[in-house]
A = this chain, B = another copy of it.
Amino acid sequence: MTIQVTEHGGELQPCSHSYQVNCGNCRLNSICLPLALEADDIAQLDNIIQRSKPLQKSQHLYREGDNFQSVFAVRSGTLKAYKTTDDGREQVTGFYFPGEILGMDGISNNTHASSAKALETAAVCEIPFSSLEKLSTIMPSLQRHFFQLMSREITADQQLITLLSKNSADERVASLMLSISTRNSRRKLSATQFRLPMSRVDIGNYLGLTVETVSRVFSRMQKMDMLRVDNKEIEILDIESLRGMANLGS
């Protein structure tokens, strides 16, 4: 019933906050799973959701090959999902920010197809999939919403496929910066100033580039006065030319 944490072989205990966190009062509920649900539907959803102690940086939420039980919503912090190739290299398949859902790739085989690890201290809501399924049959709007979430994951992956196969290093990094900017503003955070939660290596492993190339692109962008980069602190100085560099027509 608790989240299996394979990292240290231990289990996370459900946490008891002094105040009770629930979907109804969560400030992410307009962008997260409860989106498009009625108040009393949200209460029912809330019943099946389990909250637990936050994950520490670099702790795993689940690992490739683990038995699939639940999908997860990010409440705070950031996680990366990744696969390890036979020769030990790492392909990052996604970064997950608050309000976003991960773990859906485990449904097809009842086994997680990728690993997920916290890039910084992160809290997640665990949604046991069997409960979600049951609830979905009696709550059509939840069923629909979950279909849409999975579809969104598919289109996001297809975006990445196109990016990897057709775009230059400059375009890839610019696109990622714009994506993070957009996702920040959906959470009412600054679209132009933020702290990257992931390392250069992670960015490279996501975008199909080496660290060195990522670093060089940042330097180039800085020289062109599009971006101010101070280690992980990013300030977008000229979002229009950044869009031009990303060159995605969106």
Contacts and interface: CB of A to CB of B under 8 A. Distances in A.
Given A86-B249, A89-B166, A161-B91, A144 B151 contact: no
A86 B155 contact: no
A152 B108 contact: yes
Interface string A75-111: 0000000010111010101000000000011111100
Interface string A148-164: 11111111011011101
Interface residues of A, number: 46
A113 to B, nearest CB: 5
Q: Please classify the interface of chain A as helix (H, G, I), strand (E, B), loop, or mixed, using the class held by over half of its residues.
A: helix
A249 B154 CA distance: 24
Please list the 9 inter-chain residue pairs (A to B) with the smallest Cβ-Cβ separation, ordered nearest first: A86-B249, A165-B208, A107-B151, A157-B157, A108-B151, A108-B152, A91-B162, A150-B150, A164-B164
Interface of A: 83, 85-87, 89, 91, 93, 104-109, 113-114, 133-134, 136-138, 140, 143-144, 146-155, 157-158, 160-162, 164-166, 207-208, 247-249
